[in-house]
Amino acid sequence: MGWRERFEAPVAGVAGSSGGKWARAALARVTTPLLPDDYLHLVNPLWSARELRGRIVSVTPVTSDSATIVVRPGWGFSFDYHPGQYIGIGVLVDGRWTWRSYSLTSEPDSSRDAGTVSITVKAMPEGFLSSHLVNGLTPGTVVRLAAPAGEFVLPDPLPAKLLFVTAGSGVTPIMSMLRMMRRRRQRVDAILVHSAPDAADVLFAGELREIDDSGLVEVKLRLTQSDGRLDSAALAELVPDLTEREVWACGPGGFIEMVTSTFEQAGRSDHLHIERFALERGEAGAQGGTVTFGRGGKQIEADGAATLLEAGEKAGVLMPFGCRMGICQSCVVMLDKGAVRDLRNGAEHVEGERIQTCVSAAAGDCTLDV
Amino acid sequence: MAIADIPEYAHLTDSDVEALGAELDAIRADIEADRGERDARYLRNTIRLQRGLEVTGRALTVGARKRSMWWAGATTLGLAKIVENMELGHNVMHGQWDWMNDPEVHSTSWEWDNTGPSAHWKHTHNFIHHKYTNVLGMDDDVGYGLLRVTRDQRWKPFNLGNLFYNTALAALFEYGIAAQHLELGKKRKTPEAKAELRRDITDVGTKIARQVGKDYVVYPALVGAVTRSPEAARKTATANLLANIMRNFWTNAVIFCGHFPDGAEKFTKFDLKDETQGQWYLRQMLGSANFRSGPVLGFMSGNLSYQIEHHIFPDLPSNRLAEISVRVQALCEKYDLPYTTGSFPVQYAKSWRTMAKLSLPNKYLRATSDDAPETASEKRFRGEGESRLTPVVDAGTGRRRGLRTAIAENRSRLRARVSA
């Protein structure tokens, strides 16, 4: 290890400019084992690059059950994101930080100018956090953020012929893409097919109409309550040349399956980019599922009684462990996707939480960071 | 020899032990369901207080050339280090605050202001000590491989220095904890084991370098530069030294009060695989000892004044142990189990008394390892040929007559014999 790596070691995981990094690394010699940020954020919660934070600027209703939330990120946040990416947002509810991922609906250029990003959240009937975000969040609240991530992005330059296929709040990552295309005046042959139950449920209805009027993108709305669900045949009818297009699709699981099979049958899977919006929560009370060990990609079927630690060992994954009875916290790993259940008390844990593999079992499909 | 049959020693039947376990499970469930904003606020306030004390202590030592500022700075910093070590470090790393899902106060990410790396300590403490609590030969915290704290450990001439070793250990406790994980006495044969030791030594070395660098080089140099006085730099270093020693003595004392006063039992090696949750709880209850505390002493000890409750529920938030203790005491009453507690000075003095006694060979000691203040076994109740496994319910009072009554009877028999 060179002197430079050694000097920067205490702030290795911290985002920020190299000048700021060096200042922090120097100060960290005084504050070790803490970082200067651990003191600074007590003065202003946004003064920490150790954990990304943000402050809610505004919560604006979009439809009756959805709202656009504008967040001003604190230190260490990079606005170099790509339209279509999502961020993790953690909100303090009853003393607990609850995390979910949402697509960014802002676009990078104006984000950088304004120093803010935005997400658009639809309150799900059983979505405890989404309802809280839409109805319970007040401007000024400090939230935690996870850096923008995701592969669901447009290439540069854009393909000549584009198709977006979305359903419900699946339009949110596309919105960011459309806004960037508009801002950067990127004109290509683009079509958006968007499904929603009825007219009142269409997110960004006004803005989509403007985009359609301006000729940037041809917007085709499908109101499923009157027009019926979108299926392969209807999609082919709406977009006769869909096999000539590069496709970005986002929506709930069943919708994505329909789109995937449509393009598979047409032999065009290579041209389809998909994103399943929100998290595919295991059904309530699900027992067992496919456990994926993220770093090595190994998978195993586990029932609802086997601990994740046992499942991992059976799959040949080098699992960290200690007491195997829930005392020592040696086996704790991050739950990246899905849900697990604590076998001792039945409590369910969802993505964004660190879980004890020795006393937890799969509650549906899940992915662990191990 | 220490306790081999825990239920027999406790005068409980298997179904009693299961029932006791169920009652403790219910306490856990109640607390878990009730955790919330109030607890989170307690932790955030503790963090603010600790960081405030730390900054104040460091600021005061800028004037360390003045004697009063030196004392004020050193003790404030010492208090900051105590809070950091006990109420924060120890408890956060137990996962007591993991439920908050806050990456900054999570057992997987907390690094404490101590020379031992958190990862090492979590292994020796959370895993080895809390799983194998007081099992001889498995729990290294029984004497830390240095002290003779029970008659079950064979006497060697080395043990004559027991009191001296503990004084040194207390002063340098953080280094003792740092070395504990390395198990330097253990032979390593395989290349993997040797490589692991090298890695661990590097980790400890890096952590010690950072800690020592901060307290004795970087910070004094800063103060020296600000005040343009080498004298102030030296005084700052000595103030930091006092703060560390204060913290070391205090944490050592609190920990010793938890497992070495009279009545904290030791256990012989047994197959832990067969141990039920109820039996595990019972072992934690018998092996730990409390000291009485109000809010201040409780806070300064990281609520380890409730060591029994902490050992039963190592991952429940420390601020709840006081209320849990009320319910645990009621259970002890119900099952006639001892609830070992006393004032802090008495409990600490008892652990020193044991160490003093045990620096001598057994032939100079009165009690046996089956019936000594610091270690006992079920044999102490088998004296008159009868096994007292089954508890008896007193016909007159309707009260269960179990371990606590049996110990009291033993004691009064002994007293009668001595006075006769």
Q: Is A26 on the interface with B (CB under 8 A)?
A: no
Q: Is B39 on the interface with A (CB under 8 A)?
A: yes
Structure tokens at A351: 């993505």
Q: Is B122 on the interface with A (CB under 8 A)?
A: yes
Of the candidates A310, A291, A304, A317, the residue with the CA atom closest to the CA atom of residue A357: A310
Distances in Å between the alpha carbon of B250 and those of A271, B78, B124, B178, B403?
66, 10, 20, 17, 32
Mean pLDDT in residue range B41-58: 98
Q: Is the pLDDT of residue A129 over 90?
A: no
Structure tokens at A248: 């970005």
Interface test with A, best of B46, B53, B88, B104 (most A CBs within 10 A): B104
Please give the pLDDT value at position B383.
Answer: 65
Chain B residues in contact with A345 by the CB 8 A cut-off are 28-29, 32
CA torsion angle B382 B384 B385 B389 (round to 10): -40
Q: Is the pLDDT of residue A220 over 80?
A: yes
Interface test with B, best of A6, A14, A42, A329 (most B CBs within 10 A): A329
Among A50, A94, A345, the residue with its CB nearest the CB of B36 is: A94
Query: Where does the pLDDT of residue B387 fall: very low under 50, low under 70, confident under 90, or very high at 90 and above?
Result: low
Give phi and psi for A127, each to the nearest 5. -85, 100
Query: Where does the pLDDT of residue A284 fall: very low under 50, low under 70, confident under 90, or very high at 90 and above?
Result: low
Please give the pLDDT value at position A5.
Answer: 84
Structure tokens at B342: 């006393």
Closest chain B CA to residue A39: B51
Please give the pLDDT value at position B206.
Answer: 94
pLDDT digits (tens, 9 = 90+) for B328-384: 999 999 999 999 999 999 999 999 999 999 999 999 998 988 999 999 999 888 866
Q: Is the pLDDT of residue B420 over 90?
A: no
Among B51, B211, B218, the residue with its CB nearest the CB of A39 is: B51
Name the one residue in this structure whose structure tokens are 């300064």: B300
Closest chain A CA to residue B116: A33
Please give the pLDDT value at position A13.
Answer: 76
| Distance (Å) from the alpha carbon of A108 to chain B's nearest alpha carbon | 27
Structure tokens at A239: 């977009």
Quick check: B29 and A345 CB within 8 A? yes
Please give the pLDDT value at position B15.
Answer: 93
Mean pLDDT in residue range B250-260: 97
pLDDT digits (tens, 9 = 90+) for A71-114: 999 998 999 999 999 999 999 999 999 988 899 999 999 999 99
Quick check: B127 and A94 CB within 8 A? no
pTM above 0.90, yes or no: yes
Quick check: A327 and B41 CB within 8 A? no
pLDDT digits (tens, 9 = 90+) for B296-335: 999 999 999 999 999 999 999 999 999 999 999 999 999 9
Chain A window 173-212: which residues touch B at a Cβ cutoff of 8 Å? none
Q: Is the pLDDT of residue A16 over 90?
A: no
**What span, in angstroms and rounded, lies between the C-alpha atoms of B9 and B376?**
9
**What span, in angstroms and rounded, lies between the C-alpha atoms of B295 and B10?**
31
Among A29, A33, A51, the residue with its CB nearest the CB of B111 is: A33
Among A327, A347, A352, the residue with its CB nearest the CB of B314 is: A327
Please give the pLDDT value at position A120.
Answer: 95
Chain B residues in contact with A330 by the CB 8 A cut-off are 122-123, 126-127
Mean pLDDT in residue range A59-68: 93
Chain B window 204-243: which residues touch A at a Cβ cutoff of 8 Å? 207, 210-211, 213-214, 218-219, 222
pLDDT digits (tens, 9 = 90+) for B112-155: 999 999 999 999 999 999 999 999 999 999 999 899 999 999 99
Q: Is B36 on the interface with A (CB under 8 A)?
A: yes
DSSP-assigned beta bridge partners for residue A275: A250
Distances in Å between the alpha carbon of B146 and those of A182, B151, B207, B256?
73, 14, 23, 14
Chain A residues in contact with B107 by the CB 8 A cut-off are 329, 332
Give the per-residue SS3 of B242-257. Answer: HHHHHHHHHHHHHHHH
Chain B residues in contact with A320 by the CB 8 A cut-off are none
Quick check: A323 and B127 CB within 8 A? yes
Mean pLDDT in residue range B239-246: 98
Mean pLDDT in residue range B224-230: 95
- Asked which of A12-26, A141-155, A166-180, B133-147 is least confident by mean pLDDT, the reply is A12-26
Please give the pLDDT value at position A62.
Answer: 92
Please give the pLDDT value at position A73.
Answer: 96
